[in-house]
Structure formats: C-alpha cells, structure tokens
C-alpha cells in the first residue's frame, strides 16, 4: 500500500493511542501491532529527514534567525534578509516534499468487524476509521 509520510504519521499517532491490553483478539492485536511498527518506522525516518533539514538550516543561518524572528513578531517587513528568506523557502519546500513523498508500506488489513471489536472502548472518530479504510488498514 502506498501512502504519504504525512498519512503514515497520522495513522501512527492514532494507533499509538490504542490500548493493546483492551484488544481481546490476539490476531487483530498482532496485525495492529505489525501495522504500528511498520508505520512508526516510516514516520520516524520522515521525522529524522525533516530534523536534518531544520538542523542544517539553523546552523547555516544561526545569526539571521533571531533578527528575522523579531521582525516577524513585531509584524514588520523582513527587509535585508533576502538570502535567508530564499533559504527558508527552500528548506520549507524540502520538508514539504518529504512529508508528501509516497512510501510503500507493508500494511496488513483487518476486517471492519474485527476492528470495531478491537476499538470497543477506544475513542476513535469516523474520520480516523475512514483514514484507516482509505490506506488499507481496514478491508
């Protein structure tokens, strides 16, 4: 199943809130755990790549960050920092590209009925269930 890093992160966050000890079916628990670990690795790799870009930007532009931040906080135009603004734009575009990148994930789907049984006591929204369905976690 292909999904973006953004969606892998969103699904990982949802799965991380589920309580394994409240899932009675061992097969469903195993599949959800497999999916979580698989997607968590994808999410972690995307986060590491993003943090690398941020760290590099902060190192390269250390002296300009504070004055630009001050101008923005005071709602003043950021004048005289054209190179900084171009580098910031490039860094943001690189981060967006990482988050939008499509990744192949070895997702193991479960039946909707089994999923409903697994989340019986969980607080999960219709939108989250739809996200799981859209990306193959639920058949």
Between CA 118 and CA 120 the distance in angstroms is 6
Polymer length in residues for the chain: 139
pLDDT tens-place string over residues 9-67: 999 999 998 888 888 889 999 999 999 999 999 999 999 999 999 999 999 999 999 99
Residue 135 burial by Cβ neighbours in a 10 Å radius (0-12, 13-18, 19+): buried
pTM to 2 decimal places: 0.85
Q: What H or E segment, with its residue span, contains residue 4?
A: strand 2-4
Taking a C-beta distance cutoff of 8 angstroms, is the pair 32, 4 a contact? no
pLDDT tens-place string over residues 69-127: 999 999 999 999 999 999 999 999 999 999 999 999 999 999 988 888 777 656 788 89
Taking a C-beta distance cutoff of 8 angstroms, is the pair 81, 64 a contact? yes
For residue 120, the 8-state DSSP code is T
């Amino acid at each position: 199943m292909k999904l973006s890093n953004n969606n892998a992160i969103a699904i990982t966050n949802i799965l991380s809130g589920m309580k394994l000890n409240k899932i009675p079916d061992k097969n469903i628990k195993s599949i959800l755990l497999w999916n979580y670990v698989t997607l968590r690795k994808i999410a972690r790799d995307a986060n590491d790549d993003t943090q690398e870009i941020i760290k590099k930007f902060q190192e390269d532009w250390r002296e300009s960050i504070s004055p630009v931040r001050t101008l923005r906080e005071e709602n003043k135009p950021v004048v005289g920092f054209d190179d900084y603004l171009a580098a910031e734009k490039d860094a943001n575009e690189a981060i967006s590209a990482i988050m939008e990148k499509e990744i192949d994930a070895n997702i193991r789907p479960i039946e909707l009925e089994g999923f409903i049984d697994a989340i019986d006591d969980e607080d999960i929204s219709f939108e989250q269930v739809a996200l799981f369905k859209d990306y193959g976690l639920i058949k």
